[in-house]
Structure 1
Amino acid sequence: MRFSNFLFPESREPESDARVIAECIAEAQLCDALGVEVLWLAEHHFDGNCAYVDPTTFAAAVLAATTRLKVGFAVAQVSLHHPVRLAEQIALLDNLGQGRLIVGLGRGTAYNVYEYQGYGIDWQEAQARYEEAEAIMLKAWNSPSGFEHKGKFWDLKAPRLRPACYTTPHPVVLRAASSEEGALHLARRGLPFMMNVQSLEATRHRLSAYRAELAASGHDEATIARCMDESWVWRNVVVAETDAEAARIGIPAFEAMQQHRREMREKVYAEQGIRMVQEVVPPARVQLDHALIHGSPATVAARMAEIDRTGVGGVICSFRLGPMSAEATRESIRLFMTRVAPEFQGGHAAAAE
């Protein structure tokens, strides 16, 4: 099992933006030095929940500041972008990183209506816009003579895309699946996926169903193995020397992060009466027991071994949670990469043998 860092930094007030963004570059360089496989970048707008906001622009800075680290999107909110412009930007990034780019694509947030409103897009069109935009992007990368497209949202006549992608025919593309049906849809297409934060039980069930759907759709064992190996699950992670110290640092930071992420959403609901998702039961992503892995290196390794046994290829670890300091985050990453990750060298944890 492989490990990566989801760089998802909160900045609570505009005066902190420059400092947090600079700290993100330093965190990327630390990950590069410690052997983290991928640095994932988010995309969120207007609320300070992701300080650098734009993963395509920020990816260029990260690629320039590192030498080995892969940079991925988790995910680019495709419905907010013009697909040809985004395809061009990704092709440029692929050249800047000489193949170190992973293109995670998704429709956009399922919770924050203000992100669509700020871009003048009807949130109810997000899925359809995403599907059409992804098809356009793939066509742009795969059409050396240019292409035409007539659809619901775009009417295009484009010459050949320049620059051409560094990776032939284009960088690795991953899709987010926030529901079981979304994961099964990708299984039918023989494609890997990124799973949002879920309980261990839900993770086991969804990956088992995904594997079964791959087989039922006629994909061979090699394809099934590849899809499992290239799929990722997401957890928030805090490592300290002791369980008590990790709880002292991690639990308040996690709870503050969830509160901050709710605030703008609730403000819009109070003012406009719009809520994209009605959640009767709090989802796993906000439940401490399911969403946060915290403890000493031994405790965290044991929790990671449970995930390893699901057969998934990698874990997307969010290390910087809410108001957590850059110093605490760096120590957590250092402990994870020097004392947790080595337990999984060779593909499986010793505890899982």
Structure 2
Amino acid sequence: MRTGVFLFHESRDPSGDSQVIDEAVREAQLAEAEGMDAVFLAEHHFDGNCVYVDPPTFAAALAMATTRIKIGFAVLQTSLYHPLRVAEQISLLDNLSKGRMIVGLGRGSMVNQHEYSGYQIDPQSAQERFEEIEKILIQSWTSDHLKHEGKYWNFDVPMMLRPRPYTKPHPQILRAVASEGSIMGQARQGRPVIMAAATAKGAARNIEAYRNAAREAGVSDDRIDWAISESWVSRTVILAPTDKEAEEVGLPYFRQMQTYRAAQSSAFEEMVAKANAQPTLPVLCGSPETVMEDFTNLAKTGIGGVSIRFRTGPMPAEFSARALKLFMKHIAPEIRDTKLAAAE
């Protein structure tokens, strides 16, 4: 199983934005130095929940600051973009990174309505825009004529998109899936996905639903195995040398993140209330020894990779950097598939 870091750095005070952005770059460099396979970027606007805000721009910085690690989106809020502009951006990134891009696409958050209003996008149109943009991206990267007729965009430019993608025919595209319906929809096409799961048991249920839907649609077992091996699951982990420190020092940072975001969004507030009403913690928390079993069980599902958010809320960079090192020293060797890593 591949390993990655999910950079989702919060900054509540605008005066601290520059520092937290720098810390995010350093965490990506640390992930590469420690042997991780990928770094994934989030996207949120206006609220400080994702300090670097613009993942294509930040990905360009990371492409220059690293040499080996893959750079992924988890995910682009695709409906907020003009399709040709984002096609150019991703193609440029693919060249700058020499083919290290993983293009995770989603329609956009249905929790943060202020992002749609800020960009003057009707949230009810997000899914349709997303579907249309994905088609345009592939057309732009593989044809020599920029022509499209659709519901939201119409253009006819007798030229090709430049630069051409470094990766042929184009960078890897993964869809974000947040519900069983969306998982089954991608499974029927035999497509790799990015999913979120709080526990290995939850990931296993999602993967089983994927396999069943794919088989019912006539997708071959080989294709299903390949798609799952190319898929990623996102996790949030509070990791410290001891359970006591993880629970007493690390977990409060996660709780502060929940409170901060809940105050900005009633939909997120409902999600937090539901998660916190469960008898178990809403996040994996503890020492490497405590969380090890969950990760080894996750590896047994066959999922291709796990991307981990170590830093939440106002957590200091030193705390999350130590967590990343602990993970790579104690947990990664137990879950990494050396054959899979070598194929990269």
TM-score with structure 1 length normalisation? 0.91
Match of residue 302 from structure 1 = 293
Could you tell me how far apart the structure 2 residues matched to 1:313 and 1:40 are? 14
What letter corresponds to residue 329 of structure 1 in structure 2?
S
Match of residue 151 from structure 2 = 152
TM-score with structure 2 length normalisation? 0.93
Could you tell me how far apart the structure 1 residues matched to 2:117 and 2:197 are? 26
Q: Tell me, yes or no, if the aligned pair for 2:2 and 2:337 is still in contact at 8 Å.
A: no
What letter corresponds to residue 149 of structure 1 in structure 2?
H
Superposition CA RMSD, Å: 2.0
1:347–1:292 CA distance, 2 compared to 1 (3 A): farther
Q: Tell me, yes or no, if the aligned pair for 1:198 and 1:284 is still in contact at 8 Å.
A: no
Could you tell me how far apart the structure 1 residues matched to 2:309 and 2:262 are? 18
The answer to whether the aligner puts 1:314 opposite 2:305 as a matched pair is yes
Q: Tell me, yes or no, if the aligned pair for 1:258 and 1:286 is still in contact at 8 Å.
A: no
Could you tell me how far apart the structure 2 residues matched to 1:154 and 1:97 are? 29
Q: Tell me, yes or no, if the aligned pair for 2:189 and 2:219 is still in contact at 8 Å.
A: no
Paired residues, number: 338
Match of residue 6 from structure 1 = 6
What letter corresponds to residue 87 of structure 1 in structure 2?
A
Please state whether the residue corresponding to 1:294 is helix, strand or coil.
strand
What letter corresponds to residue 85 of structure 1 in structure 2?
R
Percent identity between the two aligned chains: 47
The answer to whether the aligner puts 1:52 opposite 2:61 as a matched pair is no
The answer to whether the aligner puts 1:117 opposite 2:117 as a matched pair is yes
Q: How much has 1:83 moved relative to structure 2?
A: 0.5
Could you tell me how far apart the structure 1 residues matched to 2:94 and 2:330 are? 32
Q: How much has 1:203 moved relative to structure 2?
A: 2.5
Could you tell me how far apart the structure 2 residues matched to 1:239 and 1:146 are? 50
Q: Tell me, yes or no, if the aligned pair for 1:200 and 1:290 is still in contact at 8 Å.
A: no
Q: Tell me, yes or no, if the aligned pair for 2:193 and 2:232 is still in contact at 8 Å.
A: yes
CA deviation profile, 1:223-243 (whole Å, cap 9, x unmatched)? 111111111222111222111
Q: Tell me, yes or no, if the aligned pair for 2:263 and 2:269 is still in contact at 8 Å.
A: no
CA deviation profile, 1:11-70 (whole Å, cap 9, x unmatched)? 001111001001111111111100111100011000000000000000000110011111
Q: Tell me, yes or no, if the aligned pair for 2:175 and 2:194 is still in contact at 8 Å.
A: yes
1:82–1:285 CA distance, 2 compared to 1 (3 A): farther
Match of residue 94 from structure 2 = 94
Q: Tell me, yes or no, if the aligned pair for 2:196 and 2:234 is still in contact at 8 Å.
A: yes
Structure 2 unpaired stretches of 5+: 340-344
Match of residue 250 from structure 1 = 250
1:176–1:82 CA distance, 2 compared to 1 (3 A): same
